[in-house]
Structure 1
Amino acid sequence: MFKFKAFRAIDDPVRCQNFIKGHADVLRQYGVTKVTSSNNDWMYNPFVYVITVEVEETGEIVSGLRIHIAHPDYPLPMEMAVSQVDHKIFDLVKKYSVEGTGEVSGLWNSKSISGYGIGAVLLIRAGIAISEQLKLGSLLALVAEYTLKPSLQKGFEIEEGIGNSGTFFYPKLDLVATSIVMKDPYNLPKADPEEREIILGIRNNLKCEKTEVGPKGDFLVNYDLILENPDWRKDV
């Protein structure tokens, strides 16, 4: 059984360290040793929230993602990465920050669980689902090609205001990344109807056990997505 656990980064340093180790191992497996977005200062950032996926029997973290809330003192990972080629990213983030915006970042999946659909499907759904607790007006992301389609199905759209109509070569020249935005994470008007129903179902039942269906068959997930400290605005 897999456990999905949501928390504020500064509240659980041990889980953060295990997230960092797992993510670094995956990047090395793919030959990526230096990525701007993999900077680990985020674990001390009070505006970062994390979802980890653990194998419940062993406690091993096998997948995860982060939501970085935009704040003047803590640039988003995509601001750091994109500004190297396009300074318009700063104005774009500032515009979305008026209503509160967060970047879905650091999505990774251990090879040991590839094929379950956990990272590109279930984790992105969970990230969108917890955004209501954070009262965010929008979500941003910089995604690789393989996560673009599932992200669009869940209600993101391509943000064409930066890069080459939203596309970048990053972090290696043979990897295309695309900037995307979800402008209404509450109502999800751009999501496929089936995806919208599933995400709203998770949001309405943040702590539950559920049988999920993936390419490798059925598996049990223990969702624990209630954030203990969702009110990031009090620290602004």
Structure 2
Amino acid sequence: MEIAIRAFKAISDEETCLKFIDGHRRLLEFHFGVAKITSSNNSWMHHENTYVVVAESLDRSKVFGGARVQVADGKLPLPIEAAVGKYDPKIHEQATPGSSEICGLWNSREVAGMGIGSIFMARVGVVMAMQLNVEKIFFLCAPVTVRIGRRIGGLIETTLGNKGEFFYPKDDFVATAMVINDCQTLVSADEKERAKIFELFDNPIQQRVVETGPKGDMLVDYLLKI
């Protein structure tokens, strides 16, 4: 399979944002039975400090997955604030201007199990945040993705909720709040993951990179300069 992983400012590409929204909605509704969650609120499309990354076909006609990086600016609350603020208002004290969140990770069922909506998007989300010169990155993880959060340098934010855990987006789902406190150094990241992230940060434009996912190899064009 050949794909491109492309980053852009949300307000610069409405057409791709709409494809992102449609794909994310379909995954939530049909796979998880969740009609609406905070990170699927569409106001981010018009937010100056939201950036998007998509995995798409080389001709840009099809979006297979994506994620967003939103920088806190005092104008649009981070999705994690809307998600857990009613349970623990301390999140508002921590999500100060200059911090950020990786949110809205998803992939289509067509590429399920290839890592596109998990490790690839998480890794690239960190690269984007590094370009934006933020120091702190929040994200909410499902139980099966906490290990991916740890790989990219995330720590469980035990000061929030029940030692970092919340019932979200439904009462029978557990989400874990994680944070990378050292976005520019990633001292807590897995060594191989840290090397890959810095390599992408140093070389955000690459073509035909062979990437190995859980279901085999892919050829990836990286277009990550924002």
TM-score (structure 2 length as normaliser): 0.95
- Is 2:180 the counterpart of 1:182? yes
Which runs of 5 or more residues in structure 1 are unaligned? 228-236
| Aligned pairs (5 A) from 1:22-37 | 22-29=23-30, 30-37=32-39
For 2:180 and 2:60, the matched residues in 1 are separated by 35
Which residue in 1 is equivalent to 2:161? Answer: 163
Which residue in 2 is equivalent to 1:21? Answer: 22
CA RMSD of aligned residues (A): 1.1
Residue 150 (structure 1) aligned to one of 145, 148, 151? 148
Q: CA shift at 1:205, angstroms?
A: 1.1
- Is 2:54 the counterpart of 1:52? yes
Which residue in 1 is equivalent to 2:7? Answer: 6
Secondary structure, aligned partner of 2:54: strand
Q: CA shift at 1:59, angstroms?
A: 2.0
Counterpart code for 1:159: E
For 1:168 and 1:132, the matched residues in 2 are separated by 27
Counterpart code for 1:214: G
Q: CA shift at 1:36, angstroms?
A: 2.4
Which moves more between the two structures, 102-111 or 138-147?
A: 138-147
| Aligned pairs (5 A) from 1:67-78 | 67-78=69-80
Which residue in 2 is equivalent to 1:231? Answer: none
Which residue in 2 is equivalent to 1:122? Answer: 120
Which residue in 2 is equivalent to 1:214? Answer: 213
For 1:108 and 1:135, the matched residues in 2 are separated by 24
For 1:117 and 1:199, the matched residues in 2 are separated by 16
**Which stretches of structure 1, 4 residues or longer, exceed 4 Å deviation after superposition?**
none
Q: CA shift at 1:58, angstroms?
A: 6.2
For 1:34 and 1:192, the matched residues in 2 are separated by 33
Superimposed CA distance per residue, residues 1-29 of structure 1 (whole angstroms, 9 cap, x where no aligned partner): 11111011011111111100111111111
Counterpart code for 1:224: L
Which residue in 2 is equivalent to 1:234? Answer: none
Secondary structure, aligned partner of 1:213: strand
Residue 43 (structure 1) aligned to one of 34, 42, 45? 45
For 1:201 and 1:6, the matched residues in 2 are separated by 16
Q: CA shift at 1:143, angstroms?
A: 1.5
CA contact (8 A) 2:69 2:128 kept: no
For 1:6 and 1:167, the matched residues in 2 are separated by 30
Secondary structure, aligned partner of 1:122: helix
Which residue in 1 is equivalent to 2:191? Answer: 193
Which moves more between the two structures, 153-162 or 29-38?
A: 29-38
For 2:183 and 2:37, the matched residues in 1 are separated by 28
For 1:69 and 1:58, the matched residues in 2 are separated by 26
Identical aligned residues as a percent: 39
Superimposed CA distance per residue, residues 21-73 of structure 1 (whole angstroms, 9 cap, x where no aligned partner): 11111111121112222111110010100101102256211100001111212
Which runs of 5 or more residues in structure 2 are unaligned? none
Superimposed CA distance per residue, residues 67-92 of structure 1 (whole angstroms, 9 cap, x where no aligned partner): 11112121111111111211111112
For 2:130 and 2:40, the matched residues in 1 are separated by 26
Which residue in 2 is equivalent to 1:91? Answer: 93
Instruction: Kindly tell me the number of residue pairs found equivalent between the two proteins.
Output: 223
TM-score (structure 1 length as normaliser): 0.91
For 1:220 and 1:28, the matched residues in 2 are separated by 30
